[in-house]
Chain A
Amino acid sequence: MYKVLLVDDEPAARRTLRRLLEPYGPLFNIIGEAANGGEAIEKIQALHPELVFLDIRLPDMSGFEVLQQLKEVPHIIFTTAYEEYAIQAFETFAVDYLLKPLREERIAQTVEKLQRLGRLGNTDTAPDLQALIDRFNQPVAATSLSVRTGDRINLLRFDQITYLEADDKYVWIYLVTGQKYLSGATLSSLVEKLPAHFFRIQKSYLINKQLIREMHRHYNGRYRFVMNDTNSTTLYSGRTYQQEIRKEFGL
């Protein structure tokens, strides 16, 4: 007999679980339900369930993050529509991993498995939960830079940015269209957020390599860049950047 908590943001999914577990009557004692991560943590800590049916994708956090915040982790059966996390989830202390939509035959297998395992012992906390969470929350490759002006956020797409110019305390970001945006961040902090094809040609200039129309040898080891924007902006590299530029452009 297991004390069971059901965690899922969809009422229908919780209802389905209840209905599917019902035939096994005395084996599962459903002591509560939670509709989000916060509620799940609260109820697990208050009710000490032995078995939790846990949805991986919850509105406020992932199921993995719920586990991370627990001192004592109960046995977990993940339920989700996402197949891609199955293997990773099994590497934690998951007893089972159920794909939605849930069905009777599959629950029967879970029950069998539970009975084979017998009395559930204590679980060790999974060592690599953080890696799993990072992987789950992994941001998709960024394609734009967000710049806040007042209460607006402007998303400037990388392929639209021709160059950035550091000016005293601010950085001007120039777009292909000729528009410019002011960012309060420093040029060096922006470098980290921009992809590698943004290249420094001078202490205060960062240009988009993919938007260079022409590149000319200038004098004193400097180069002249004509950018592929509406104004055909011309920029000059700094003398000290000669080596980097030659390397970058294979000269």
Chain B
Amino acid sequence: MFLLANFKQLFRKSIRNEWLRANISAWLIIFCFIMALLPLNGGLFEAIGEYGVGMALLGQAILVTLNTLIVFNSVRWVVRHPRFKQWSFAKHQALILVTLIVTAVSTSLLFYIATAERENIHNWQSTVLISLYFATGVGLVHVFSAYVSLERQKRMDEQSLELSRLREAKARAELEALQAKINPHFLYNALGAIADLSLTDGLRAREMTLALADLFRYSLNYAGDNYATVEEELQLSSLYLRIEQIRFENKLQYEVHTDAEAGAFRVPRFLLQPLLENAVKHGLKATDRLTSIRIDITTLEEGISIAVEDNGPPFPEELVPRYGLQSVFDKLDLLFPNRYEVLFLAQPKAVVIKMYTPKARRHV
């Protein structure tokens, strides 16, 4: 095995021309085949009797060379020609079989005419017969193996199709799961704040309750729709940020900048909220100053850029995305596969998401 592999490598390296390599291999195989079939070949014994072993072998070598050059190459051409490849499997294989038989028989005939005495009728028939058997046998083996590999390919295609179908179903289910999750602790905390405000500041309590109701309506009503417009996402963002602002009483401020074109752009639903939740959390970490958050949305030549900026401590050297950020990546992977970028900028500290969509598809 080792020697064979080594030999193959050497063979491949010393003979760079692929055609030559194929022909040499074919010659060797056909030669071995004919030698193995010697007992059947009556003509050869007669030839040995007439011209001696050396000449007879030379004759066989010439026959093999002829077979290689004519039969092997015509069949190779038929097998590889792109036009025939477009044919149906049966038609293509039949053509290969016919080519093989016709060329093999005519080559042997040619060889026979050139070498043997014409009056030997028996030999003429046996030569044709042997090459016919030979060609048919080889041809059928080829057809059979081609059929087996076709079947295998078909099965593999079916499997991969099945797999992709499963994957799609899984992706859909995942997306639904991703959307439904608004951090339950956020709800507890918001309700706790409302419980307190209801005694101390009725108007604020009312405002927060309404914002919370809108937030949940948004997350429930659109659970089936994977996309949202930037405008919808921004409405949700201001609801969320307003709730946090009331919770942390004057410790949080935010601003939104967006260009007029961006509003109708379609993005994964609930893309912004996890980013904002992180921004609020990180912003509050710097306890000595007012947390300020800025959302910047700009349309690009071929897409859109969404930046969420906060003034908290810088990103750690080793960023490990937790649930929120992970869900952003997952949504983008499902809806904008290979067409997005997420950047973490240090100055100003911001997470930037760039999604690329041709202009024509933006509103689809």
Please report A residues at the B interface, Cβ cutoff 8 Å: 9-13, 15-16, 19, 35-36, 38-39, 59-60, 81-82, 100-102, 139-140, 142-144, 146, 148, 151-155, 157, 177, 193, 217-220
Question: In the bound complex, how far is the Cα of B343 from the Cα of A139, in angstroms?
Answer: 21
Nearest residue, chain B, Cβ from A144? B321
Is the CB–CB distance between B346 and A155 below 8 Å? no
Chain A residues closer than 8 Å to B44, beta-carbon distance: none
Question: In the bound complex, how far is the Cα of B343 from the Cα of A218, in angstroms?
Answer: 41
Q: Assuming A59-B285, A143-B329, what are 15 further A-B pairs, CB within 8 angstroms?
A: A10-B193, A13-B193, A19-B199, A35-B287, A59-B287, A60-B285, A140-B321, A148-B317, A152-B346, A153-B319, A153-B346, A157-B329, A177-B338, A219-B2, A219-B5
Given contacts A38-B287, A152-B344, A152-B345, contact A16 B192 (CB under 8 A): yes
Is B222 an interface residue when CB atoms closer than 8 A count as contact? Answer: no
Is the CB–CB distance between A151 and B345 below 8 Å? yes
Chain A residues closer than 8 Å to B249, beta-carbon distance: 11-12
* Listed A/B pairs (28) with beta-carbon separation below 8 Å: A9-B248, A10-B192, A10-B248, A12-B249, A15-B200, A19-B199, A39-B287, A59-B284, A59-B285, A60-B285, A81-B185, A81-B192, A82-B185, A100-B188, A100-B192, A101-B192, A140-B320, A140-B322, A140-B323, A146-B319, A151-B347, A152-B343, A155-B319, A155-B342, A157-B333, A177-B338, A220-B2, A220-B5
Is B37 an interface residue when CB atoms closer than 8 A count as contact? Answer: no
Given contacts A15-B196, A19-B199, contact A155 B321 (CB under 8 A): yes
Is B315 an interface residue when CB atoms closer than 8 A count as contact? Answer: yes
Is B269 an interface residue when CB atoms closer than 8 A count as contact? Answer: no
Is B126 an interface residue when CB atoms closer than 8 A count as contact? Answer: no
Question: In the bound complex, how far is the Cα of B192 from the Cα of A12, in angstroms?
Answer: 8
Write out, one digit per residue, whether chain B residues 206-248 have a CB within 8 A of any chain A CB (1) or not (0): 0000000000000000000000000000000000000000011
Chain B residues closer than 8 Å to A36, beta-carbon distance: 287
Please report B residues at the A interface, Cβ cutoff 8 Å: 2, 5-6, 8-9, 185, 188-189, 191-193, 195-197, 199-200, 247-249, 281, 284-285, 287, 315, 317-323, 326, 329, 333, 338, 342-347
Which of B189, B281, B346 makes the CB contact (< 8 A) with A81?
A: B189
Is the CB–CB distance between A143 and B5 below 8 Å? no
Chain A residues closer than 8 Å to B318, beta-carbon distance: 146, 193
Count CB-based A-B contacts (< 8 Å).
101
Report B156 CB to chain A, min CB distance, Å.
Answer: 13
Is the CB–CB distance between A101 and B195 below 8 Å? yes
Closest CB pairs A-B (n = 10) = A219-B5, A101-B192, A153-B344, A81-B188, A12-B196, A59-B284, A151-B346, A146-B319, A36-B287, A12-B193
Nearest residue, chain A, Cβ from B287? A36
Is the CB–CB distance between B5 and A218 below 8 Å? yes
Report A186 CB to chain B, min CB distance, Å.
Answer: 15
Chain B residues closer than 8 Å to A157, beta-carbon distance: 329, 333
Report A125 CB to chain B, min CB distance, Å.
Answer: 25
Is the CB–CB distance between A101 and B188 below 8 Å? yes
Is the CB–CB distance between A100 and B189 below 8 Å? yes
Question: In the bound complex, how far is the Cα of B317 from the Cα of A193, in angstroms?
Answer: 13
Select the residue from A59, A102, A143 with max chain B CB neighbours within 10 A: A59
Select the residue from B8, B197, B249, B344 with max chain A CB neighbours within 10 A: B344
Question: In the bound complex, how far is the Cα of B315 from the Cα of A100, in angstroms?
Answer: 30
Question: In the bound complex, how far is the Cα of B315 from the Cα of A38, in angstroms?
Answer: 20
